[in-house]
């Protein structure tokens, strides 16, 4: 990591040392917002941003994301979480406090195509992705030079379906050693096993070069061309054991027509893939996503 990026991170952490976030989902009922607001007020916390949503005011599920400023947050954090547990129990909440000064550690997996990786690295260098990219893992060597040029550890681990379990054991060990918070599949063209997915629930962000649920799996651009589509797109989602069917975080599209051949579709698609994945990663970093069943609420 170069000195410029280190300086950016230090400034970010200093500026946000008292900034916290609270994400809640629970059965909808009166009094939730009041209880949470009163709790934060009791700690002299000032609410900076609050977003909420209910699937149905009568018997639905309620979701809220609150970002707040609290003097001396580091010292208060443990006690706040202990005491909030009482409110959470009363309203049957699933909840999570995060601290903005805590930099999340990410691992990026990539194969031969580097456009998504390069976009993430550019956003990171530019200070638009406040994350510690702890390592990059690839089953090809193409990314080594650019990754190591940024002083990011690069691990070349050949992978195929015959040795998948052994490969993933090595990968999981690296994630543990680097204390990884989440994984980004930046066009990593290997199917993950259920064991790997189970070890990282809602912590693996994938980019699929198709506007899911259309053209699930391999060679989507070729199949889209054969179908004569007028729109192509990309989808970023959390990985589950159902191939390309995890909770969708972000999607985007571009219009095409009969003059666009497969290579044209791929070129247009790569541009969409880059931006869609970068937005999904940014929202994950900012704790803007709540997973509910097989959907996401993105605040």
The rounded distance, in Å, linking the Cα atoms of 201 and 207 is 16
List C-alpha distances in Å: 178 to 134, 171, 203. 7, 11, 15
**Residue 23 bridge partners (DSSP):** 65, 96
Q: Is 257 a catalytic residue?
A: no
List C-alpha distances in Å: 130 to 5, 101, 103, 162, 283. 10, 10, 7, 37, 11
Q: Residues 36, 41, 43, 48: is their CA dihedral positive or negative?
A: positive
What are the phi and psi torsion angles at 12 (to 5°)?
-60, -45
Q: For residues 139, 142, 143 and 148, what is the CA-based torsion angle, rounded to 10 degrees?
A: 110
Catalytic one among 28, 132, 181, 244? 244
Helix (H) or strand (E) holding 125: helix 115-125
- Going by the DSSP 8-state scheme, the letter that residue 103 receives in this structure is P
The two beta strands, 105-110 and 182-185, are parallel
Helices (H), the chain: 3-15, 32-42, 73-90, 115-125, 144-148, 164-177, 194-198, 220-227, 262-285
Q: Is 9 helix (H, G, I), strand (E, B) or coil?
A: helix
What are the phi and psi torsion angles at 221 (to 5°)?
-70, -40
Tokens linked to 267: 């070129």
Catalytic residue numbers?
244
């Amino acid at each position: 990591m170069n000195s410029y990026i280190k300086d950016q991170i230090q400034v970010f952490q200093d500026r946000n040392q008292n900034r916290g976030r609270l994400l809640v989902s629970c059965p909808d009922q009166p009094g939730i917002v009041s209880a949470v607001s009163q709790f934060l007020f009791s700690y002299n916390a000032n609410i900076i941003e609050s977003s909420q949503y209910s699937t149905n005011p009568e018997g639905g599920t309620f979701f809220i994301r609150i970002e707040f400023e609290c003097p001396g947050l580091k010292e208060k954090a443990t006690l706040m979480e202990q005491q909030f547990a009482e409110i959470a129990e009363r309203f049957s909440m699933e909840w999570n406090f995060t601290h903005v000064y805590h930099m999340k550690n990410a691992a990026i997996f990539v194969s031969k195509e580097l456009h998504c990786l390069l976009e993430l690295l550019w956003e990171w260098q530019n200070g638009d992705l406040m994350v510690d990219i702890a390592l990059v893992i690839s089953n090809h060597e193409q990314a080594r030079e650019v990754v190591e040029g940024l002083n990011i550890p690069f691990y070349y681990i050949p992978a195929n379906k015959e040795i998948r379990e052994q490969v993933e054991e090595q990968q999981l060990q690296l994630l543990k050693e680097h204390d990884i918070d989440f994984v980004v599949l930046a066009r990593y063209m290997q199917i993950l096993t259920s064991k790997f997915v189970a070890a990282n629930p809602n912590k693996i962000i994938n980019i699929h070069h198709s506007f899911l649920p259309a053209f699930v799996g391999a060679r989507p651009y070729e199949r889209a061309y054969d179908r004569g589509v007028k729109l192509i797109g990309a989808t970023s989602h959390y990985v589950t054991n159902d191939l390309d069917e995890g909770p969708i975080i972000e999607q985007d599209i571009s219009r095409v027509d009969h003059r666009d051949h497969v290579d044209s579709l791929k070129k247009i698609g790569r541009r969409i893939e880059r931006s869609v994945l970068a937005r999904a990663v940014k929202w994950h970093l900012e704790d803007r996503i709540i997973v509910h069943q097989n959907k996401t609420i993105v605040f």
